[in-house]
Every structure is written in structure tokens, then in C-alpha cells.
Structure 1
Amino acid sequence: MKKLYSNKYIILSLIAPGLLTFVFAILVPICLSVYYGFTDFSGIGAANFIGLENYTTLFKDSGFWMSLRNSLFLAVGFILIQHPIAIVVAAILDKLQGKAEGFFRCVYFIPNVISVAIIAYLWKFIYNPNFGLFNKILQSLGFKGDVNWLGSGNAIWSVLLVLIWHGFGWGMLIYYTGIKNIDPVLYEAAAIDGATSAQTFMKITLPLMKTVIQMNVTMAIIAALKQMETVYLLTNGGPGNETQFLANFLYKEAFKSYKYGYGNSISVIFVIICLAATVILNKIFAEKDERRKRA
């Protein structure tokens, strides 16, 4: 067996499928995006080289900055609202036993297995200014029940609520899995020492979940930046560009406005932002780990 795996042709045959998939599904499209980002290609006909014109136009485009702001705003919502609640819910689920644990785990994950189209239209009915659930609740409480939840001023908050709710199950399940992998002996030792549930959570669960939290936060930021389907079906970026997100803005410019070269310049910036976010997060978590070791 050792002789078999030392054969370079055998090694090449084993890594070739994955390597070819990476090259043709990821590397080549990225290289083509970089190339088309320097052209005025419309998707049809010739692609004329125009240098940095797409990028100079992009940085002056208010729609781009609005979409980037909304994407970063959503990332903050994921990190500061969705994930703290998700990790607490995961910790509570871990304490439950038997059927209750399985039942609530499934309940929290249900939104993630429902079609995005169904989710969008369901929330459209909930937000409806005439017969929507939210306005009916306001009326029953004695408030004015004619709020246009997807109108100007309210739309971005309404969209953020849907996106945070819809993605909650994934984050919770990842944290739940991470907590399940913590050795129960540590919790038993803490209980013997008289530690409370809050102390156990802060001193054992959170420190041992560092890698899981890092991965989940990174995925949350990337998910916020590439958010499109739900927004497209819910508001299509409206009113105006108020609920425009980066991926939706890219789609609109490339495939609706037929500015394929301009759309590819947006995709290049998108990849750079994702890589920068990953590097920054890795450094932040590495620095925290160093401080903890020194302490």
C-alpha cells in the first residue's frame, strides 16, 4: 500500500478530479471576471479594453455604495443579533433531553428547508399594508395599523428581519454541533466545583467554541455579501435602491442593464472584500488567542 501511494501517477490521478474542478469552476471564472472587468463587454459582441474605467465609475456609483452599506449592515446584524441568540439557543437545546431536544432542533431549522420563493411571498403577505399580520397585530393593540413595511424608510429593516430570521437555523445548528463536541466531563467538573450555568457557559462553552465561532462569523459575513434571492423576490432592491444588496446590484447591472463588463468589475471587488474580511477575522481571532495564552 505504501508503495502504491508513493507512485506519482497514482497521486496525480487522486488529486486530478479535485484540482480540475477547482481550476475550471473557480480559478478560470475568477480570471475571466478580472479580464472582463477591464472591458465594456455587454454580453453580446466584442469586448473592448477600457482599462480602469469600470472601477472609476463604480466608486462614484451611489447604488454600489448603498448596496455595500446594506450588505455590511446585514453582516453586523448577523454577528450582533442572529449569532448571540443562536449560540444561547444551541446551549439551551444541549441541556434538553429526549424528544424535546429533537423537536425544537427541527422547529428552529424548518425555515432553512423551505423554498426561498415561499419564504419571500409568505413575508410579503405578513408585511401587506392592508391585511398583513403585523398591521393586524398593531390594530389589536390599539396602534395605527396602516404601516407600509416595505415602503421607504421601513423596507431595509423589514428585509433585515426576514434575512436574520431565515438564516437563524444554520447558525444555531453549527453552534449546537460544536457544543455537542465538548467533553461532558468538563461540565461535570464545573458542576462539582459549584459553577453556575452562566459561569459554565462563559468559562467553558465559549472558549472551547472559538474555532466554531470564527468559522460561523466568517460564513455570516460572506452570506451577507452574497445575499440575493430573498431580496430579489421580496423587494427587488426597492424602493429605489434602499434595499439593494451587493449580489443583487451585480445581477441588475450585468444582466438587466446589459453592462457585463461593469458587473464583472463589481464581482472582482466582491471577491476582494470577502478575502479581506476572512484575513481580518483570522487575525482578530489569532490575536485574541495569543492574549489568552499570555494571560
Structure 2
Amino acid sequence: MQKLYSNKWVILSLVAPGLLTFIFAILAPICLSFYYGLTDFSGLGNATYVGLENYKNLMSDAAFWTALRNSILLAFGFILIQHPLAIITAAILDKLQGKAEGFFRCVYFIPNVISVAIIAYLWKFIYNPNFGLLNNILKIFGYNKEVNWLGSGMAIWSVLVVLIWHGFGWGMLIYYTGIKNIDPVLYEAAAIDGANTRTVFMKITLPLMKPVIQVNVTLAIIAALKQMETVYLLTNGGPGNETQFLANYLYKQAFSSFKYGYGNAISVVFIVICLVITVALNKMFQEKEVK
């Protein structure tokens, strides 16, 4: 067996499928994006080289900066609201045991198995200013004014609520799996020592969950940057560009406005941002572990 694995042709045959998949599914599209980002290609016809013109236009594009701001807001919403609630919920589920644990685990994950289209239209009805559930609840408490939740000034916060709610199940499930992998002997030892629930959570659960938190936070930030489907179906970036997100804006520029070159310039900036954030998060967590 050792002789077989030392054969260069055997090694090449094992590595080749994954390497070819990486080249044609990831590396080649990224290189093409870099190329088209330097052109004025509309998606049809010939592409004319324009150098860094698309990137210069991008720096003065107010809609792009609004989309980036909204993506950052969503990332903070994931990290500061969704994830703390998810990890606390996961810790509580771990303590429930039995049928209750399985039932609530499924309940919290249900939104993630429902079609994005259904989720978007469901929330459209909830937010409807005329007959929506939210306004009807407000009327019960004596507030009779019709609030346009997807109108100017309110739309971005309404969209953020939907996105944070919809992604909750994934974050909770990842944290739940991480907690389940913690050795129960540690909890038993803490119980013998008389540690209360809060102490156990802060001194055992959270420190041992650092690798899981790192992965989950990285995934959350990337998910916030590439958020599109729900936004596209809920508001399509409107009113104006108030609820515009990076991926949705990229799509609109490339395929609706026929600015394929400009859309690829946005995608290149998107890739750079994702790489910078990933490297920064890895360094941040490594420094904390060293300390």
C-alpha cells in the first residue's frame, strides 16, 4: 500500500479530480471576473478594455456604498443579535434532553427548510400596511396608524429582521452540534465542584466553543455579504436603493442594466473583502488563543 501511494501517477489520479474541479469551478471564474472587470462588456457582443474605469466609477457609486453599508449592518446583526441568541438557545436545548429537545430543535430549524420564495412572500403579507399581521397586532394595542414597514426609512430594518430570523436555525444548529461535542465529564466535574449554570456556560461551554464560533462568525459575515435571494424577492433593493445589498446590486448591474463588466468589478471587490475579513478573523481568533 505504501508503495502504491508513493507512485506519482497514483497521487496525480487522486488529486486530479479535486484540482480540476477547483480550477474550472472556482479559479477560472474568478480570473474571468478580473478580466471582465477591466472591460465595458455588456454581456453580448465584444468587450472593450477600459482598464480601471469600472473601479473608479465604483468608488463614486452611492448605491454601491449603500449596499456595502447594508451588508455590514447585516453582519453586525448576525454577530451581535442572532449568534448570542443562537448559542444560548443551543445551550438550553442541550439541557432539555428527550423528546422536547428534538421537537424544539426541529421547530427552530423549520424556517431554513422552507423555500426562500415562500419566506419572502410570507413576510410581505406580514408587513403589508393595509391588512398585514404586524399592523393588525399594533391596532389591538391601540396604535391605529398604518405603518409602511417596507417604505422609506423603515425598509432596511424590516429586511434585517427577516434575514436575522431566517438564518437563526443554521447558526443555532452549528452551535448545538459544537456543544454536543463537548465532553460531558467536564460538566459533571463542574457540578461536583458546585458551579452554577452561568459559571459552567462562561468557563466551560464558551471557551471550548471558540473554534465553532470562529467558523460560524466567518460564515455569517460571508452570508451577509452575499445575501441576495430574500432581498431580491422582498424589496429588490427598494425603495430606491435603500435595501440594496452587494450581491443583489451586482446582479442588477450585470443582468438587468447589462453592465456585465461593471458587475464583475463589483464581484472582484466582493472577493477581496471576503478574503480580507476571513484573514482578519483568523488572526483575531489566533491571537486570543495565544493569550
Q: TM-score, normalised by structure 2?
A: 0.99
The alpha carbon displacement at 1:241 in A equals 0.2
What is residue 76 of structure 1 aligned with on the other side?
76
**Pairwise CA distance, 1:45:** 0.9
Give 1:16-27 correspondences, 5 Å limit: 16-27=16-27
Q: Check conservation: 1:41, 1:47, Cα contact below 8 A.
A: yes
Residue 97 (structure 1) aligned with residue 88 (structure 2): no
For 1:136, the equivalent position in structure 2 comes to 136
Note the C-alpha offset of 1:107.
0.2
Structure 1: where are the runs of 5+ without partners?
none
CA contact (8 A) 1:149 1:158 kept: yes
- SS of the aligned residue for 1:247 comes to helix
Give matches, 1:1-295, under 5 Å: 1-291=1-291
| Separation in structure 1 between the aligned mates of residue 280 and residue 220 of structure 2, nearest angstrom | 14
Distance in 2 of aligned mates of 1:210 and 1:242: 35
Unpaired runs of 5+ residues, structure 2, are: none
Deviation at 1:287, TM superposition (A): 1.1
SS in 2 for 1:144: coil
RMSD over equivalenced CA pairs, Å? 0.5
Question: Within 2, Cα distance between the matches of 1:18 and 1:220?
Answer: 26
| Structure 2 residue matching 1:126: 3-state secondary structure | helix
| 8 Å Cα contact 1:37/1:264 also seen in 2 | yes
Aligned to 1:150, the other structure's residue is in SS state coil
Could you state the TM-score of these two structures normalised by the residue count of structure 1? 0.98
Deviation at 1:56? Answer: 0.3
What is the alpha-carbon distance in structure 1 between the residues aligned to residue 8 and residue 188 of structure 2? 50
Q: How far, CA to CA, are the matches of 2:190 and 2:145 in structure 1?
A: 51
CA distance in structure 2 between the partners assigned to 1:256 and 1:143 by the alignment? 40
Alignment partners' CA distance in 2, 1:78 and 1:192: 36
Shift of 1:290: 1.4
Q: Distance in 2 between matches of 1:287 and 1:273?
A: 21
Q: C-alpha deviations, 1:52-101, integer Å up to 9, x for none?
A: 00000000000000000000000000000000000000000000111000
Structure 1 ranges of 4+ moved more than 2 A? none
Deviations 1:257-288 (A, max 9, x none): 00000000000000000000001111111111
Matched-pair contact (CA < 8 Å) for 1:237–1:244: yes
Inter-partner Cα distance in structure 1 for 2:246 and 2:148: 24
Q: Which segment is superposed worse, 194-203 or 281-290?
A: 281-290
CA positional deviation for 1:143: 1.1
Query: Which amino acid in structure 2 is aligned with residue 257 of structure 1?
Result: S
- Compare 9-18 and 63-72 and name the one that shifted more: 9-18
2-structure distance, mates of 1:282, 1:145: 48
| SS of match in other structure, 1:47 | coil
> 1:136–1:145: 8 Å Cα contact kept in structure 2?
no
Aligned residue type for 1:134: L
Q: State how far apart, in whole Å, the 2-side matches of 1:205 and 1:190 are.
A: 11
CA shift for structure 1 position 145: 4.1
